[in-house]
Structure 1
């Protein structure tokens, strides 16, 4: 087990308690394990198409450990499967902010962003869904049904659109079409609470209608019963009597419809519309709350990331300064022992901009001034001698060693040294004589650019023309 606190990074004591913040590492590990367990349960439930159950488990997992990358990614996939593209992208963006490298959320985000046609379809579906909500608020269910059908054609897995379309069909007493849409939802998410609730209401309503039909059959008049008639009835014309019964039945039926059935239907429709409005407002509030929570969490993660990046930059700056000081101290020690060449090579590793204090900068300038010119002149003289020996013996090893000396001189020479152009010319000639045309051409051009008044100018131009 790690001996560092996962919260603040301080050391832990023998009981695995942080010496700085007092956090108990065993409790932290239990929370992490519980979050992982809930993620595994959510994964199993999602495989069984219980997407609502999976969402609930994954939210609990992230409540315990908001840095659970796998839970964020899986929750995004579940949201995407039920047509909720915006919440899915939010989960993947949060996952990417926590871990930028080796994160499969990159693949999901890129797959959506690079498919412009798919993005346009999703945006259009969302706009039409919101428009259908406004139609329902205006009690224009027929227009809402048209919009919702377009939404489903653009986003075939949009569960909320199916549920809302089913509710509109229920409101219009078209229970068959409502069932079809609810069954489609249950094939996508078999434990969707809204779909199950609506379907249960439809089934119960069908059962009540069948009972009413049975009761109405039982109450029919027995065709074999014998009616008693009064003497007065026997005197009436049978045709007129039958017509009177029909008229009387029609009147009674109209009265029953006006005073009993119509008010009940109106009240039922009003209640359904009110419930629909409440459901819509509830879903909208839930969405707004979730969006606000995710936005706040994203802002917190960004602030935390900025703080850590600031600490990293500060640490890197200090590390760079420490490395420069280390090389400078080594150079000073060699300089005091009169090992000028070793001191110069060590000082060459120091970048002046990484030195902070004025004392260290003064030391750097002092050693540079005392060592660089002498070493550069010594290396140039050595290279010139080796070049002269080659003219007498024509051995390539003299040219190779001469190039090494000239390159050493180049490291330490100043641009205003009287022999700086000579050094470039002779090094270029050595490279040319060894057949290194590319290196020679670069050195001749450098001489022409940096020293336009050099005595080797004409010769260098001739060599450049020849090499090109």
Structure 2
């Protein structure tokens, strides 16, 4: 069997500068795809396989036809022991390029009994069966069902370009298609029923209508399931893009901008690699951002710009909640509230300092402030 970890070392970065000399008008998506490909190789070499996988997924989303990137993703999965995902990836390459020797070599290493020609025949058979089903559906449900199928196909193509933009359009289209189909069948049933005098014929028409309605209802449920999957895919894509942007901000030491983006993310939606990356970025950015904003708040406080200072101290709490300067942060928030004539909030902050940090100097300052308020 191939040593996939060793195989990863055979992949070398792409010389983007050289490519740009021969192709200066290269589209941005291809340039960014190459940059992410090279970055994934760097992360693999620094033992950050999870980050490398994220970056490769992004690279492939920008350039879906890059078999080299897809192959590398498969090798990464195989190198981490996830052979099931690796095989799926290599099969995707073969579906794009049947003569891709690398993908064939890799998949045969995972499955010595793999038979490409057998798989192709199976695929052709599946396509023939799908075609028969499609023809039967078209015959039974008419032009509207055919239009609905085409609509879904078109929406999937649009989602590849900008998934967030078209998701609402897809939802509306699904509902319209269902309602039109239902109306079409209802009208057809009414015409047949009104033209039939015989009671037996009417019963048959009613039964036929109910069967067609049930079939349309099932199709509608399938479409709703597809819509949910597309929503999830869109959200995952959006979260992945944001995490990569945050990673770049952290590398540039722009901790406040990174912390703002992290605070805006819904951590409950993140799972697996994305959740691990999110936690890692929080550890790198949040306290450094809190320290920076706290310093800005202190400067505004000294200038007696209490409203602006309070906004900074509130931001510190949003970033870290509890940290080494929490007693000072809470005390300064209390003073700002007091200066802004919000006595209730000020009293609440001073009591919190005394309760949580009773031995600190800020607890004594808080008690002194409360005595002044009472007198």
Greater Rg by CA: 1
Q: Which has the higher contact order (CA 8 A, sep 6+)?
A: 2
TM-score normalized with structure 2 length: 0.41
TM-score normalized with structure 1 length: 0.34
Identify, as 1 or 2, the structure richer in helix.
Answer: 2
